[in-house]
A and B are shown apart, each in its own frame.
Chain A
């Protein structure tokens, strides 16, 4: 079973804001680990999450560009290992601050949801 994030996600019924915010969080975290290009990000996310989280291309690039517009990540054209040119993104200081804030929010939110879901039914 895998969840797909983005507008191919018919399995989901979350409001799009929440999905978008969560995607931002994931992308920022991945980039916090290491600067990389869009393709590498989607691979990484898939592998780290054990194939649960797969970003569709339709959501990945708009999200990346939005993060860039907001000033949380910055981009640079570099050579890959195969000597091809690609656009590498990395986290900015602002982005790091935002990531910490969003991560904290997510912890609180997910803890609350988990708590409610695990309540014993009478």
Chain B
């Protein structure tokens, strides 16, 4: 019978909701009719019209109550109540707009930071693999005796694949690597990201290519035979404009021809967190991509480069798989004792992998989430305090409502509606802030990932994060609003109506809030000071300059191992490159160097013993950072040679070994003598003898704010390195030199890619300037957030005090206190808190400065300017926060206060 019921009832209910005025009018008319009939009956029975009316009204016992009863039947009260509450709440909130704004901002900050962090945590930990039934995909890892996770080798992978029964397919992939890619034979290769995978990769994961097919099993059997590739979806869109004819096309990867046989679907950007592979190749083609000449990828059981994943067979538990794997690795241990001794293996779900205690992502996530939740908690506490003070000032109104019959629950609902509105506003603003935070994360991409690999930061405000944030907003509304609502509706009617001084809260309760305010003030002071110091130190560093000429420089890196050169071929290549590039149009001078100054790569180190030195007992040698350069380096980089000479063409592999050191090194080891002509021995007292032929000016090597460090240069011809960066000084725009270099390169080897080609200026700007800038912004914004919270907290505290003591203030003023006296009275506590917070903040700030000095800057002593600026500003701002409610207090007319409106 029920479904038919609905046909009638639903339209009726909806009508009651939406055509309310009409329905109300009808009800009124119906009851009026009834009344009219009753009056007529009364008159017919002999009563006068007046009496008849009275009788009828009495009989009907009040029209309004009848209407209410009918309305109850309509059962729309919950909705109309809510709308009424909402309207009332909006009105009363806009009356105290200052406090409302504070609350909304505070909530927004808390929710914004948390949702930004949610997006990060979601991407790093919770987002499932982009494949069907992702929960069935498990990861297998090789474990060493200290339980750290490691990859498997090719042979181990094959054994696992063939000898286990717990899985519906075992796949393997290598890490994504830099691959030289060109679509046309004549084009210079560019660096893209490629990933070697087993043939069953797509099939086992359940990924259907949107074009063409995945790999066949036979294509992964014979090393080097089947040069086929599957493209990633983004790459296909960008590089080939989604052209279907890409199927069957030949592309060059690291100089070798590959045929495109398929394109992965849009839904599968890859299994990595931080990047999307541009193309996939079968494991059998590993030789084309490996740069490690020592190991044989397919044979060496200790060449561990493969991540192994698998799909658990339905019905098999993780434990069963684990046991099976344990047996297998025991066999490995006995069969291959040399490489598999003390090695085990284990199986883990995606979640387990992502939440490993030693995983960097997990640690990052935990730290950020803790911070964000702390901010949210502080924000909520502040808001609760603000709402409490607000609730206090409405005791009378609430008491009246309670007295005329409002249920306590009804009143609590009304007050919570207020919190809900605040939470919605705060939540929306918070989500906007969250978007900002995610955008800000994205802005890191260029700084952190300065490579051509397709790396990106995957944090996004997707639906899950948005829902979580909204839920959080609602929850915080409940939290913040509940305490004030519960407290202020306590049925202490008599007191409330009498409006005597409301109960003095225990000292203990205020204590917590005092501590909170002090903590916020001191923390924000410390953060602001720290960021100020960083700015100052950074400016110092910039002012000192780098020591070399940054302008008009083009740089590009080569790694001939990518095209399978051996050592001799590599050296010949560099020699020819340098010769030919020197003659290219627009090139003023050329240089080859292993590492660029102020780069992201670490410099190599060199261990040596200065010849004739008496080494202390506990050391066998000293160490210094070093770089490998060619003859043109010092001139091209504009680094003056202070004494002696730089390298020459005559410093060949057969000649005696030479080196150039920097001034810092020379002063360090030969403070009173000329370093030129002295010798050092490499590695130990009896190592290779190297003569120092020149002293170069000390420059900045690793960071703009570093202390001067020892440095040694060695000539490329005597210290061969495979991966070198070419630096070219140009007469004009350095980017004009790219084409001439490409032309030269084509004459040498058209398959060799140019990596990281850019003007040094641009690189420096990104690295040395933007990086620290972001760090400073981070610390600075944390300080600002802390400050805003402190302001809100202080405002709330003082406002609370005011509302508590309104009557007292009124009495004082009636007895003759001036406005300024009241001001002092109310602000006094607030000032004390700010003072304590400032002192604490100063102490913490000193500590931070000390730390930073020892790590980064040369500047000794305390940077007074920072404190002179930050401390008074902070003080001023917090004072203002306390002043506003206090001023309102001082303006209270005594009569008003005593009436306690």
Binary per-residue interface labels of chain B (61-88) against chain A in the complex, 1 for a CB within 8 Å, 0 otherwise = 1000110011011110000000000000
Q: Does B31 contact A70, Cβ atoms closer than 8 Å?
A: no
B36 sits at the interface (CB 8 A): yes
Q: Does B69 contact A61, Cβ atoms closer than 8 Å?
A: yes
- Pair A65/B31 contact, Cβ less than 8 Å: no
B26 at the interface (CB under 8 A from A): yes
Cα of A5 to Cα of B274 in the assembled complex, Å: 75
**B298 CB to nearest A CB, Å:** 78
From known contacts A71-B7, A87-B30, infer whether A61 and B70 are also in contact, taking CB-CB under 8 Å. Answer: yes
Asked whether A94 lies within 8 Å of B4 as measured between CB atoms, the reply is: yes
A82 to B642, CA, bound (A): 121
Contact B73 A69 (CB under 8 A): yes
Residues of chain B lying within 8 A (CB to CB) of residue A66: 73
Q: Point out which of B13, B30, B31, B65 has the most chain A C-beta atoms below 10 A from its C-beta.
A: B30
A85 at the interface (CB under 8 A from B): yes
A window 35-72: CB within 8 A of B: 37-39, 56-58, 61-62, 65-66, 68-71
* Complex Cα–Cα for A84 and B30 (A): 11
Q: A56-B61, A87-B26 are in contact. Are A69 and B12 (CB under 8 A)?
A: yes
**CB-based nearest B residue for A73:** B8
In the complex, chain A residues whose CB is within 8 Å of the CB of B37: 39
A26 close to B (CB within 8 Å): no
Q: Is B59 an interface residue (CB 8 A)?
A: yes
A58–B33 touching, CB < 8 Å: no
Establish whether residues A94 and B61, one from each chain, have CB atoms under 8 Å apart when the complex forms.
no
Instruction: Tell me, yes or no, whether B5 is within 8 Å of chain A by CB.
Output: yes
B8:A92 contact, CB within 8 angstroms:
yes
Contact B30 A61 (CB under 8 A): yes
Whether A71 contacts B4 by the Cβ 8 Å rule is yes
Contact B31 A61 (CB under 8 A): yes
Contact check: which of A39, A57, A69, A70 meets B61 at CB < 8 Å?
A57
Which A residues are in CB contact (< 8 Å) with B33? Answer: 37-39, 84-87
Which residue on A lies nearest to B13, using beta carbons?
A69
Given contacts A39-B33, A61-B70, A87-B26, contact A70 B38 (CB under 8 A): no
Q: Is B1 an interface residue (CB 8 A)?
A: yes
Contact A94 B5, beta carbon cutoff 8 Å: yes
Pick from A58, A65, A85, A97: contact of B73, CB under 8 Å = A65
Residue of B7, B12, B65 touching A58 (CB-CB under 8 A): B65
- Of the four ranges (under 10, 10 to 19, 20 to 34, 35 or more), the interface on chain B belongs to 20 to 34
Q: Which residues of A contact B65 (CB under 8 A)?
A: 58
B73 A57 Cβ-Cβ under 8 A: no
- Residue B60 at the chain A interface, CB threshold 8 Å: yes
* B72 surroundings in chain A (CB, below 8 A): 62
Per-position 1/0 for A78-98, Cβ under 8 A of B: 000000111100001010010
Q: Contact at B74–A85, with CB atoms within 8 Å?
A: no
Max chain A Cβ within 10 angstroms of own Cβ: one of B31, B33, B59, B61: B33
Nearest-neighbour CB distance to chain A for B24, whole angstroms, equals 12
A87–B59 Cα distance when bound, in Å, is: 20
User: For residue A84, which residue of chain B has the nearest CB?
Assistant: B33
A74 (CB) vs chain B CBs: closest residue:
B8
Quick one: CB contact mask for B1-29 with A, threshold 8 Å, 1 for yes? 10011011100110000000000001001
A81 to chain B, nearest CB (A): 12
Size of interface on A: residues with Cβ below 8 Å to B? 24
Question: In the bound complex, how far is the Cα of B31 from the Cα of A57, in angstroms?
Answer: 9
Residues of A contacting B1 with CB < 8 Å?
Answer: 94, 97
- Tell me how far the C-beta of A7 lies from the nearest C-beta in chain B, rounded to whole angstroms: 9
Residues on B with C-beta less than 8 A from A86 are 30, 33
B725 to chain A minimum Cβ distance, whole angstroms, is: 82
The answer to whether B8 and A62 touch across the interface, beta carbons within 8 angstroms, is no
Tell me, rounded to whole Å, the shortest Cβ–Cβ distance linking A93 to chain B. 9
In the bound assembly, the distance between CA atoms of A39 and B34 in angstroms comes to 5
Residues of chain B contacted by A71 (CB below 8 angstroms):
4-5, 7-9
Contact B34 A70 (CB under 8 A): no
Summarize A's interface: helix, strand, loop or mixed: helix
Report A43 CB to chain B, min CB distance, Å.
8
B-chain residues with CB within 8 Å of residue A85 when the two chains form the complex: 29, 33
Shortest CB-to-CB span from A82 to chain B, Å, is 9
Interface contact A57-B60, CB-CB below 8 Å: yes
CB pair B66–A38 under 8 Å, yes or no, is: no
Contact of A38 among B30, B73, B74 (CB under 8 A): B30
Residue in A58, A65, A74, A85 whose Cβ sees the most chain B Cβ within 10 Å: A65
Q: Which residues of A contact B69 (CB under 8 A)?
A: 58, 61-62
Shortest beta-carbon distance from A72 to chain B in Å: 9
Q: When the two chains form the complex, which single residue of A57, A65, A77, A92 contacts B34, counting CB atoms closer than 8 Å?
A: A57
Asked if A57 contacts B8 (CB within 8 A), the reply is: no
Across the interface, which residues of B come within 8 angstroms of A97, CB to CB?
1
Contacts of B74 in A (CB 8 A): 65, 69
Q: Mark B804-837, 1 if CB is under 8 A from A, else 0.
A: 0000000000000000000000000000000000
Instruction: Establish whether residues B9 and A38, one from each chain, have CB atoms under 8 Å apart when the complex forms.
Output: no
Question: Are A69 and B30 neighbours in the complex by a CB distance under 8 Å?
Answer: no
Question: Residues of A contacting B4 with CB < 8 Å?
Answer: 71, 94
The residue in chain A whose Cβ has the minimal distance to the Cβ of B34 is A39
Residue of B nearest to A101 (CB): B1
CB distance from A73 to the nearest CB of B (A): 10
In the complex, residue of chain B having the shortest beta-carbon distance to the beta carbon of A56: B61
Measured CA separation A71–B8 after assembly (Å): 5
Bound together, the chains give a CA A51 to CA B74 distance in angstroms of: 31
Residues of chain A within 8 A (CB-CB) of B30 are: 37-38, 61, 86-87
Q: Which residues of the other chain, A, contact B61 by a CB distance below 8 angstroms?
A: 8, 56-58
Q: CA A38 – CA B38 in complex, angstroms?
A: 11
Taking the nearest CB of chain B, how far is it from the CB of A112, in angstroms? 26
| Interchain CA distance A85-B29 in the complex, whole Å | 9
| Alpha-carbon distance A85/B33, docked complex (angstroms) | 8
Known: A71-B4, A71-B5. A39 touches B13 (CB 8 A): no
From known contacts A56-B61, A62-B72, infer whether A70 and B5 are also in contact, taking CB-CB under 8 Å: yes
Contacts of A39 in B (CB 8 A): 33-34, 37-38
Given contacts A57-B61, A65-B74, A66-B73, contact A84 B36 (CB under 8 A): yes
| Cβ < 8 Å to B, chain A residues 84-122 | 84-87, 92, 94, 97
Give Cα A94–Cα B73 distance, bound, in whole angstroms. Answer: 20
Cα–Cα distance between A70 and B75 once the two chains are bound (Å): 12
* In contact, B66 and A61 (Cβ under 8 angstroms): yes
Residues in B with CB closer than 8 Å to A87 are: 26, 29-30, 33
Q: Please, which residues of chain B bring their CB within 8 A of the CB of A74? A: 8
Contact indicator B66/A58 (Cβ below 8 Å): yes
- Smallest Cβ distance from A36 to chain B, in angstroms? 12
Complex: A84 Cα to B5 Cα, angstroms: 32
Most buried by A among B4, B8, B31: B8
Q: A86 vs B36: C-alpha distance in the bound complex, in angstroms? A: 11
For residue A37, which residue of chain B has the nearest CB? B33
CA distance A69 to B23 in the complex (A): 13
Please report the C-alpha to C-alpha distance between residue A61 and residue B28 in the assembled complex, in whole angstroms.
11
Chain B residues with CB under 8 A of A57: 34, 59-61, 66
Query: Given A37-B33, A39-B33, A61-B70 in contact, is the A68-B12 Cβ separation under 8 Å?
Result: yes
Measured CB to CB, the closest approach of chain A to B9, in angstroms, equals 6
Question: In the complex, A105→B341 CA distance in Å?
Answer: 85
In the complex, A8→B9 CA distance in Å? 29
Q: Are B9 and A70 in contact (CB under 8 A)?
A: yes
Q: Which residue of B lies closest to A63 (CB)?
A: B73
A66 to B5, CA, bound (A): 13
Which residues of A have CB within 8 Å of B13? 69
9 residue pairs, one from A and one from B, having the closest CB atoms: A71-B8, A39-B37, A62-B69, A57-B60, A65-B73, A66-B73, A87-B30, A39-B34, A86-B33
Interchain residue pairs with CB less than 8 A apart (13):
A38-B33, A57-B34, A58-B69, A62-B66, A62-B69, A62-B73, A65-B74, A69-B9, A69-B73, A71-B8, A71-B9, A92-B8, A97-B1
Given contacts A37-B33, A69-B9, A69-B13, 17 further A-B contacts (CB under 8 A): A37-B30, A38-B34, A39-B33, A57-B34, A57-B60, A58-B61, A58-B65, A58-B69, A62-B70, A69-B74, A71-B7, A87-B26, A87-B29, A87-B33, A94-B4, A94-B5, A94-B8
